[in-house]
Amino acid sequence: MEGKNGRENIRDILKEKTWAVVGASANTQKFGYKVFKRLIREGYTVYPVNPNCKEIEGVQCYGSLKDLSEMPGAVSVIVPPKAGLGVLDEAAELGIKRLWFQPGAESGEIVGKAEKLGLQIIYGYCVLVELG
């Protein structure tokens, strides 16, 4: 599996210019908000995904990856591992290959399933830290 600890994988995923943030939040204290805002500040096109949120600071929030008008090159996942398993299925179905599981969103089950689905995942690293 192309996975966790390759610096090359981190550099490659950060080259993707269109992202979805699954678990995006309007709560400024949550990492779902911080990652969403930071990616925007760094010049990425970012789609927030959260079925419990209509918008975040004027940006339409989507209920799932399937609802997006444009498929992202990468997905930041900031939901509990149980919900993350469903994100893997949806990404695989849509042909999205690169996912970044924020610390706490990953699990052994997610890593194994991503491998079986042929997805490239990064875990054990924080997007905020890696963006500098």
This prediction has a pTM of: 0.93
Q: d(Cα 31, Cα 125) in Å, to the nearest integer?
A: 13
pLDDT of residue 31: 96
Check which CATH number belongs to the domain holding 108 and give it. Answer: 3.40.50.720
Mean pLDDT computed over 61-88: 96
Q: Is residue 117 part of a domain?
A: yes
The mean of the pLDDT values for the chain is: 93
**pLDDT of amino acid 132:** 86
Model pLDDT, residue 1: 33
The H or E element containing residue 19 is: strand 18-22
Q: In the predicted model, what is the mean pLDDT of residues 15-32? A: 97
- At 60-72, the pLDDT tens digits run 999 999 999 999 9
User: Is the distance from CB of 111 to CB of 1 less than 8 angstroms?
Assistant: yes
Residue 111 counted as domain residue: yes
Number of domains in the chain: 1
**Assigned domain for 2 exists:** no
Q: Per-residue confidence at 59, pLDDT binned at 50, 70, 90?
A: very high
